[in-house]
Chains A and B, each alone.
Chain A
Amino acid sequence: MADSNVSYNPLPDGERPRPTRRRSIVLVLSGLLVVGFLVALLSDNGSIAPANVIDNDNNNVNDNAKNGLNDVSSSSKEPERLRPFTSASSAGVSEKSNRRFGSRTASYPWTNNMLSWQRTAFHFQPQKNWMNDPNGPVFYKGWYHLFYQYNPNGAIWGDIVWGHAVSKDLIHWYHLPLAMVADQWYDIMGVWTGSATILSDGKLMMLYTGSTNESVQVQNLAYPADPSDPLLIKWVKYPGNPVLVPPPGIGAKDFRDPTTAWLTSEGKWRIAIGSRINRTGITFVYDTKDFINYELLRGVLHGVPNTGMWECVDFYPVSTTGEHGLDTSHNGPGVKHVVKASMDDDRHDYYAIGTYHEKNVTWVPDNPEIDVGIGIRYDYGLFYASKTFYDQNKKRRVLWGWIGESDSEIADVKKGWASLQGIPRTVALDTKTGSNLLQWPVEEVDSLRLTSKEFEKIELKPGSVMPLDVGSATQLDIVAEFELDKAALEKTAESNVEFSCSSSEGSAERGALGPFGLLVLADDSLSEQTPVYFYIAKGKDGSLKTYFCTDQSRSSEANDVNKSKYGSFVPVLEGEKFSMRVLVDHSIVEGFAQGGRTTITSRVYPTKAIYGAARVFLFNNATGASVTSSLKAWQMNSAFIRPYPDDDDERHSGTEPTHEVRGSKTKYLGNLLTSSLLFLNARNNFL
């Protein structure tokens, strides 16, 4: 080494100096690099805080007591209110996201008594575990079939497979073994929602979404293993699945829930599948002749900007002249078409009425201002992933909807189940308004009615509550009419503010002409009550606008259940009285206003107003009008929903069979083999 004649400073890391000229350049370079790194490092001003911040503290006791949990800690710099990360206008974005807490402090422990009361008597639910979307509803060989998204392993969403049940009347259901499980690469991550189509020759095709081993959403075909089996116990998946994969440019997780197919005038079958492009919800349309090969039609059937992903699309004709239902393939004069979709973003089901143009495969809404996703909802409470089917047995279109829980997970875990199906409803066009559908519980619900109590022309002065002696009040069917005196309606002052059920103070908000209606699942002291009511507001132009609401704010003393208010405007035509029908079935309350123009489904979890302590009241909390009401209330029988009996004795005795619903696939297959003969035998006798 030559002697160096370059001065240097020792490096921090103690690197030995290289006294040659070339090496001194390297030295300088390294020095600059180090400086550069240090500069960059110091300019990064993100702080690195310790991960574990759990520790004791003695907090300001008074703050907690006064403000509930709006101000849990005084030392945090961040906003402290418990508020869901949603837009202010969407109430109930997800069942568990929109809590409004009252000032009651103690956390209410759920006892087994309270929890077991919550199970319904005449709404469809499996014996235990989680359920969500209704799937493939269909009437086939004398039986109504309902399939559903089911978790055989717990009371949470997961491990989704297809549950199955059958009924002769949409009310009395028998549980059957699981129809399809996640046993193929193309549905191993989930056997998701699908629909049934009955072909002209009577064959049944089931299209459903599978989440593949790579979580890609694809469409698969399945069909009955034995089409002559009316119970459709066994199903076969088409060996060449999937039959459809996401089209180019569409996200792998934005392609699901194929509809029932409808016949085109060219004799092809056409289906719709929801999706999205950026924030625009859309629905694709495919043509097929064999349910195996598909042609993606150009463009989309319809799309609406800023609505997000469209799930569970439904597309069907309604008659403009009559209230009977129409086969999904029906088209021609006197027909309008409904497009419906479930909005992934806000967890509500929206529909719009419009005109279908078969040739250029488009659908145009009658009123774009109330288009899909921005207009009318099937239901203003908890009601999602709904699906209709044409019931060729009674020539009606029937609507199913998934009703989730609005309690907390601790209760679901404790009680071991979660979710219901809503009461099945007929859907038809409201020929009086022409701009909305009517939904009404299927007529078979009436067969559950037992004893009734009738009340004629009860006058309710402003600010009055009247108990109704109806007997037991946890399984009820109530039909009620209300009239206000005309003078009060005319003289009420105009209002400047647009009313909204969800942003109001509920039934405690007194207006001149409302609220008035029923208090259900109430206790004697009214410490718990669920008002289902009308509120009439007078608009700026002097016209009256009626709202139909359900108020959960005092529905329970528990503080971990949804306490928001649901509801919407309901058209009331000249000469009509205010009318509502309310079904109470333990933890579900369904209200239908004006023959089903506006409906509200809510889940209610009282701690006191249960069993024999539940009551019903009439109320009028208006300030400026008396209300006269006539109503009839029936006790409702149980539907005795249970597993399909596999021997004569159990079936005829009507008691609960002792075996459990089959949860595991192997158990099911084993039992299937040994009991298939019994089924054949039993079925013949039953029919």
Chain B
Amino acid sequence: MKAILFVFPFVLAVAYFPISQCQNLPLIEQTCKQTPYYGLCVTSLKSDPRSKTAGDVQAIALIMVDIIKAKAGGSLQHIEKLKQKYPALRVPLSACKDRFNAIIIGDVPQAVEALTKGDPKFAVDAANDAALEADSCERGFSGKSPITQMNKLNHDISIITASVVKMML
């Protein structure tokens, strides 16, 4: 009986220790609250295991840039498939390919460099441009886009990234 009394506070403390600390949620939530797409921000970050140990906004930003890169890469692959499926959309799909390519070889390296070398404003530019490229890809279809969801996702993730980096300025 005495042992249980002795042990119980410990158990209570453990019971009320939120598992969320292990997932680094305060930083993620705090950061995502200041972006225009809170839900997407949280789910994107949580899907990346590195977010559990991210220590500051810069680390979060780097994860987001990696997500931009991954999504853009996936988008490129998808576009290649669609070119076979919709030969009539070859022209706008090719334009989209160029745009996502620009994200991967231009925006992403600039963002990573800016964040790691210490001049984050250039990462804001790069992330904003990534959003613009996704938007422009979508516009190329004059309303008949087969990849609207994909473009929106790329756009929104980029906007989230830009707003995260802006917190560092």
Contact status B95-A109, CB under 8 Å? yes
Q: Map CB proximity to A onto B6-32 as digits: 1 under 8 Å, 0 otherwise.
A: 011001101111111001010000000
CB–CB B143/A64 < 8 A: yes
User: Which one, A53, A68, A189, contacts B139 given CB within 8 A?
Assistant: A68
How far is it, in angstroms, between the C-alpha of A6 and the C-alpha of B102 when the chains are bound? 70
Q: Quick check: is A493 within 8 A (CB to CB) of the other chain?
A: no
Which chain B residues lie closer than 8 Å to A248 at the CB level?
none
Contact B17 A40 (CB under 8 A): yes
> Counting CB contacts under 8 A, is A217 at the interface?
yes
Pairwise interchain contact B142-A69, C-beta atoms closer than 8 A: no
State which residues 147-169 of B face A: CB under 8 Å.
147-153, 155-156, 159, 162-163, 166, 169
State in angstroms the CA–CA spacing of A58 and B145 once bound together.
8
Please report A residues at the B interface, Cβ cutoff 8 Å. Answer: 25, 28-29, 32-33, 35-37, 39-41, 43-44, 46-59, 61-62, 64-65, 68-69, 72-73, 75-80, 82-86, 94-97, 99, 101, 105-107, 109, 154-159, 189-190, 192, 211, 215-217, 252-253, 308-309, 344-345, 347, 408-410, 412-414, 559-560
Known interface pairs A192-B119, A215-B116, A409-B133; 16 further A-B residue pairs with C-beta atoms within 8 A, sorted by A's residue number: A40-B17, A40-B18, A46-B25, A54-B153, A55-B149, A78-B40, A82-B135, A96-B125, A105-B143, A156-B109, A156-B126, A159-B113, A215-B117, A409-B107, A410-B102, A414-B98
Closest partner residue, chain B, to A22 (CB atom): B3
Q: Which of A28, A29, A190 contacts B119 (CB 8 A)?
A: A190
Contact: A46 with B46, CB < 8 Å?
yes
Q: Is B169's CB under 8 angstroms from A97's CB?
A: no
Identify 23 residue pairs between A and B in the complex whose beta-carbon atoms are under 8 Å apart, listed by A's number. Answer: A33-B11, A40-B16, A46-B42, A48-B47, A51-B48, A56-B146, A69-B139, A85-B159, A85-B166, A86-B166, A96-B125, A96-B128, A96-B129, A96-B132, A97-B128, A101-B135, A106-B139, A107-B137, A156-B106, A157-B119, A158-B110, A253-B119, A410-B102
Q: Are B15 and A35 in contact (CB under 8 A)?
A: yes
The 10 closest A-B pairs by CB, nearest first: A36-B15, A107-B140, A85-B163, A65-B143, A51-B47, A410-B102, A97-B128, A156-B110, A409-B106, A158-B113
Residue from B11, B37, B102, B169 in contact with A308 in the complex, judged by beta carbons closer than 8 Å: B169
- Bound complex: CA A154 to CA B110 (Å): 10
Interface of B is mostly: helix
Interface residues of B (CB under 8 A from A): 3-4, 7-8, 11-12, 14-20, 23, 25, 35-40, 42-44, 46-48, 71, 74-75, 78, 92, 95, 98-99, 101-103, 105-107, 109-110, 113-114, 116-119, 121-122, 124-126, 128-133, 135-153, 155-156, 159, 162-163, 166, 169
Closest Cβ neighbor of A132 among chain B residues: B122
Nearest residue (CB) in A for B132 is: A408
CA distance A155 to B116 in the complex (A): 19
Task: Among A40, A77, A344, point to the contact of B121 (Cβ < 8 A).
Answer: A344
User: Which B-chain residue is minimally distant from A251 (CB atoms)?
Assistant: B118
Alpha-carbon distance A414/B151, docked complex (angstroms):
22
A344 and B133 CA atoms in complex are apart in Å by 24
Closest A residue, CB atoms, query B130: A409
Query: CB-CB < 8 A to B74: which residues of A?
Result: 52, 54
How far does the Cβ of A216 sit from chain B's closest Cβ, in whole Å?
A: 8
Chain A: which residue is nearest B124 at the CB level? Answer: A94
CA distance A215 to B119 in the complex (A): 9
Q: Once the chains are docked, how many angstroms separate the CA of A672 from the CA of B113? A: 30
Give the Cβ gap from B76 to chain A, nearest Cβ, in Å.
11
Closest chain-B Cβ to A210's Cβ sits at a distance in Å of 11
